[in-house]
């Protein structure tokens, strides 16, 4: 009954098999089976790059892991800032409303109602800007983060999972070694990003960092000898320019 139900679902949904035929997905007591199957729609099938068994992935199961990669067309969406409504100053808001929206007379006609509604909208916009904070970007969002950082972090997490599952000294040392490598990669990427940003700021003519760049370069140069201006005595007609003659006069 379960097989018939599965076949009916596959047929009605027009699903396609992504795994190749005769793909071994499970090993139990030295016996191999093909019990695990991967199906998808025709649209997903056209977007599939590969779907195969991942042998080198460790897990506590007789079933082999299956990796599936898809070609996805991502759309970049610009995030808009939003208000932090939960951090609104409600006491100041109530006092502001009592002052600017206090009314002791009734509204007699439609024109007064429209004017009152316009005034309420204006006051609401004012109190939102005055008593509501803007949401700030997360401290975990870093501009320097790239694909290299993502890969080393994911591998470090995988090694950590392997160590927790196997709990051996070898897996622990391997995890520690890669964790040091991960910190080194992230530190290098962060340093390159910082230097690139400082280079852009220091090259800008109107930026304050152009003066900092000049000061840093000047501090690394050899100190120049102090220069005396040329001297002239009243009893001679020529200018004294040599260092020894200037010392004698002074």
For 13-51, give the DSSP string.
Answer: HT-EE-SPTT---EEETTEEE-----EE-HHHHHHEEEE
**122 and 156 together in one domain:** no
Whether 165 and 215 map to the same domain: the answer is yes
Q: How many C-beta atoms lie closer than 10 Å to residue 182's C-beta?
A: 19
Count of the separate structural domains present in the chain: 3
Residue 246 counted as domain residue: no
Which of 70, 99, 123 terminates a domain? The answer is: 70
Calpha distance 66→53 (Å, rounded):
4
Residues 128 and 155 in one domain: no
Cβ(207)–Cβ(201) below 8 Å: yes
Angle subtended at Cα 51 by Cα 46 and Cα 57, rounded to the nearest 5 degrees:
155
Residues 169, 198, single domain; the answer is yes
Question: Which of 48, 70, 92 is the endpoint of a domain?
Answer: 70
> Which residues lie closer than 8 Å to 16 by C-beta, 6 or more apart?
39, 40, 41, 42, 45
Which pair of structure tokens corresponds to residue 77?
Answer: 């969406």
**Is residue 165 one of the residues assigned to a domain?**
yes
Mean pLDDT per 10-residue interval, the chain, length 250 residues = 70 83 81 82 85 77 84 64 73 79 73 83 81 64 80 92 91 93 92 83 64 64 63 71 72
Q: What DSSP designation does 222 have?
A: P
Distance CA 23, CA 134 (A): 54
Q: Is residue 20 included in any domain, yes or no?
A: yes
Neighbours of 109 (CB within 10 A): 8
Is 151 in the same domain as 214? yes
The pLDDT, as a whole number, for residue 137 is 55
Specify if 190 maps to a domain.
yes
C-beta separation of 92 from 126 below 8 A: no
Reduced to 3 states (helix: H, G, I; strand: E, B; else coil), residue 243 is: helix
Question: Could you tell me the CA-to-CA distances from 7 to 12, 17, 19, 42 in Å, in that order?
Answer: 9, 12, 16, 17
Q: Is residue 208 part of a domain?
A: yes
Query: Does the residue 243 lie in any domain?
Result: no
Cα–Cα distance measured from residue 11 to residue 16, given in angstroms and rounded to the nearest whole number: 9
Residue 207 within a domain:
yes
- If asked whether residues 128 and 170 sit together in one domain, one would say no
Euclidean distance between CA atoms 53 and 26, whole angstroms: 10
Domain that holds residue 201: 147-220
The predicted structure's pLDDT at residue 46? 87
Residue 140: inside a domain, yes or no? no
- Which domain-ending residue is among 27, 43, 70? 70
**pTM of the full predicted structure?**
0.33
């Amino acid at each position: 009954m379960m097989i018939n139900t599965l076949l009916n679902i596959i047929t009605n949904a027009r699903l396609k098999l992504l795994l190749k035929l005769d793909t071994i997905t499970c090993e139990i007591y030295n016996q191999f089976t093909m019990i695990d199957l991967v199906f998808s729609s025709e649209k997903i099938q056209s977007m599939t790059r590969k779907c195969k068994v991942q042998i080198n992935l460790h897990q506590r199961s007789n079933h082999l892991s299956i990796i599936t990669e898809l070609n996805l067309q991502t759309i970049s969406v610009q995030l808009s800032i939003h208000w932090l409504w939960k951090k609104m100053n409600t006491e100041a808001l109530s006092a502001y409303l009592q002052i600017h929206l206090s009314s002791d007379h009734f509204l007699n006609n439609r024109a007064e109602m429209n004017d009152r509604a316009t005034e309420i909208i204006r006051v609401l916009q004012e109190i939102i800007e005055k008593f509501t904070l803007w949401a700030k970007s997360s401290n975990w969002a870093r501009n320097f983060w790239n694909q290299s950082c993502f890969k080393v972090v994911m591998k470090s997490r995988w090694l950590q999972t392997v160590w927790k599952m196997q709990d051996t000294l070898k897996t622990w040392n391997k995890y520690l070694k890669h964790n040091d490598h991960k910190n080194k990669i992230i530190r290098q990427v962060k340093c390159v990003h910082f230097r690139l940003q400082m280079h852009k700021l220091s090259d800008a003519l109107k930026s304050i960092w152009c003066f900092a760049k000049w000061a840093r370069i000047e501090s690394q140069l050899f100190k120049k000898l102090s220069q005396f201006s040329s001297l002239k005595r009243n009893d001679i007609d020529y200018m004294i320019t040599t260092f020894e003659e200037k010392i004698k006069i002074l």
